[in-house]
Amino acid sequence: MAKTPEPKRTISLKPCDGDVIEVSPMIAKQMQTIQSFIEDDSFIATTTIIPLPNVTAFQLSKIIDYLNYHSNSKAVADNVKESTKKFDEEFLKELEHDKLKELLHAANYLNVKEVLDFLCQAVADLIQDKSVKFVRKFFGVVNDYSVEEEEDIRRTHAWAFEGVEED
């Protein structure tokens, strides 16, 4: 049954501010932007280095960490939910707020759906159940409505949630 192991094949990614990072094809496949490089005829896995001018080494390694963890955790059946939740929480904790936004942009540039979905959810969680005032302050948004305009907008959809119990 002895089979010659397949030659080690990794994809070389070069972030804008650091050394080349090698990723497995399985991880690279989840980055749509990288995938389109790989599918290009001129791509040679052993020598081609894919430059990523919009992504820092920190962002790239965070994204790879996330993908690695989540693709491995699928294989292990026990307590997946618990440990995944813990990993996700830790993952976000390590991100200062500014870095969260930048990482969102990096994930968007690399077009890696799993990370993008996760980060969008994380930002949405910051907004959910907060007051308008809080959201403005939190995101540094300046209120450009007049008092009357704001009141109008507030009233527009109020009918839909009247009489519904607050959670």
Partner 1 sequence: MEEADDFRNWKELLPDLQGEIFTYLSLQERLTTVPCVCKSWASTLAGPYCWQEIDIEEWCNQNEPDKIDRMLVMLIKRSSGSLRKLTVSCVQTEKTFTFIAENAGSLQTLRVSRCNMTDSIVEDLTQKLSMLSFLDVSYCNKIGAPALETIGKNCTMLEVFCRNMHPIETSGKPFDDDEAIVISSTMPNLKHLGIAYNLVKTEGVVRILSNCPKLELLDLRGCWGVNIENISLEKDFPNVKVLGPHVIDYYEKNGWDDFSESSGYLGWDFMVDEYYDDDDESDISDDIWDDEEGLEEIQFTFYQGIGNAEMFWRPSP
CB atoms under 10 Å from CB of 159, counted, come to 8
Q: Which two tokens stand for residue 157?
A: 């959809």
Q: How far apart are CA 126 and CA 120, in angstroms?
A: 10
Taking CB under 8 A as the criterion, the residue among 83, 116, 147, 148 binding partner 1 is 116
**Whose Cβ is closer to partner 1: residue 68's or residue 108's?**
108
Shortest Å, Cβ 123 to partner 1: 5
**C-alpha distance across the termini of the chain, in Å:** 60
Q: Output DSSP code: residue 40.
A: S
* Contact code string over 39-78 relative to partner 1, x by CB under 8 A: -----------------------------------x----
Q: Which two tokens stand for residue 139?
A: 């995101």
Contact between 95 and 58 under an 8 Å Cβ cutoff? The reply is no
Taking CB under 8 A as the criterion, the residue among 19, 128, 147, 148 binding partner 1 is 128
Q: Output DSSP code: residue 161.
A: G
Shortest Å, Cβ 19 to partner 1: 28
Taking CB under 8 A as the criterion, the residue among 1, 5, 140, 148 binding partner 1 is 140
Q: How far apart are CA 21 and CA 60, in angstroms?
A: 8
Q: Which two tokens stand for residue 35?
A: 């995938």
Taking CB under 8 A as the criterion, the residue among 1, 2, 142, 147 binding partner 1 is 142
Contacts of 118 (CB under 8 A, 6+ apart): 66, 88
**Whose Cβ is closer to partner 1: residue 12's or residue 111's?**
111
Stretch of 8-16, 37-45, 55-63, 127-135 lying at the interface with partner 1 (CB under 8 A): 127-135
3-class DSSP state for residue 143? coil
Shortest Å, Cβ 46 to partner 1: 26
Q: Contact positions toward partner 1, by CB under 8 A?
A: 74, 96-98, 101, 104-105, 108, 116, 120-121, 123-125, 127-132, 134-145, 150, 153-154, 156-161, 164-165
